[in-house]
A = this chain, B = another copy of it.
């Protein structure tokens, strides 16, 4: 398989997978493109490569920067901005994990707390079914929350250089 063909397939697949996980196709494609590019790309490069508009490019690059998956770099003597992706896949996974945790898990825990305590007869089977499920979810969500925190913390500190490298 030729490089360009393989690149193209990677970009398309990454886009499709992103879609299934609630990430917009273009954002995933830009990410894929930057992940496999040797050098920083400009907005024009991305537009050209993916055949998308300037507005779309700008919005999704900004979103990727928000997620700390991509950053701006400047080239000496060039007025344009260029973009580069974090290439260490472990770091990428960590950033996505911590970002989704912050944006989604934390709010879930809040909702579960709000609705966990309800008025009404605790003997009523409808009440019981509700509080049982919500209680289980609370426990589960808190456990997951802690687990992710530890994972992220561990990665940001000492572990990084030693034990976790075994898994890379």
Contact = CB atoms under 8 A, between A and B. Distances in A.
B130 A20 contact: no
B140 A90 contact: yes
A78 interface: no
B143 A89 contact: no
A17 interface: yes
B2 A119 contact: yes
Interface SS of A by simple majority: helix
Contacts of A39: 125
Contacts of A2: 118-120
A36 interface: yes
Contacts of A68: none
14 contacts: A1-B114, A1-B115, A2-B120, A3-B118, A3-B120, A3-B127, A9-B114, A10-B115, A13-B108, A17-B104, A17-B108, A22-B22, A87-B136, A143-B167
A93 interface: yes
Nearest to A132: B87
- What bracket does the count of chain A residues touching chain B fall in? 35 or more
A19 interface: yes
A97 to B, nearest CB: 12
A89 B137 contact: yes
A136 B129 CA distance: 45
A131 to B, nearest CB: 9
Contact of A125 (B38, B93, B119, B168): B38
A15 B117 CA distance: 21
A37 B140 CA distance: 19
